[in-house]
Amino acid sequence: MRVTLCVVGRLRAGPERDLIDDYLTRFDRTGRALGLGPVDVREVEDRKGGGMAAEAALLEKALPSGAAVIALDERGKVKTSPDFSQDLAKWRDDGRSDLAFIIGGADGIDPALRARCDGALSFGKMVWPHMLVRVMLAEQLYRAASILAGAPYHRV
């Protein structure tokens, strides 16, 4: 099952990019044998200042056709890492060939796009910078693959 991160904003070189690249490489290596991955990151940027609606249009264009779509949103469901890993396994086992995660910009995700999603995931009740959410999602993808592989990375 291919995984796509559809995100608002361009990530420049720096510590966040290094962390994301590291975790996504780990996910690709661990997930390959499990039928997970590769990960594709699709960055969109609204250069015309059209706000959330314009960002939503760009994000929709970036989504793979037929993908299960999960929004990263503070109103989403808070899950444990093992529960998240089981969600990945279920989507894969149900025959989904594509899974996409949406990370909005500074103002969040347009309500119309959020309503179209198959689900929403939250990393807690606090609001996180969207660049940091990328790092956290990349780490959780790797952690989920490690859990499914029975590797010792995740400790209870």
127 is in an annotated binding site: yes
Q: What distance lies between CA 91 and its chain's CA centroid?
A: 14
1 is in an annotated binding site: no
- Hey, how many other C-beta atoms are within 10 angstroms of the C-beta on 70? 20
108 is in an annotated binding site: no
52 is in an annotated binding site: no
104 is in an annotated binding site: yes
3 is in an annotated binding site: no
124 is in an annotated binding site: yes
Q: Which residues of 32-46 are buried (b: 16+ CB within 10 A; e: fewer)?
A: eebebbebebeebeb
72 is in an annotated binding site: yes
Give the pairing of strands 119-122 and 2-8. Answer: unpaired
> Is 35 in contact with 88 (CB distance < 8 Å)?
no
Q: From start to end of 20-105, where are the E strands?
A: 39-44, 68-78, 98-103
Annotated binding site: 72, 104, 123-128
Annotated binding site for S-adenosyl-L-methionine: 72, 104, 123-128
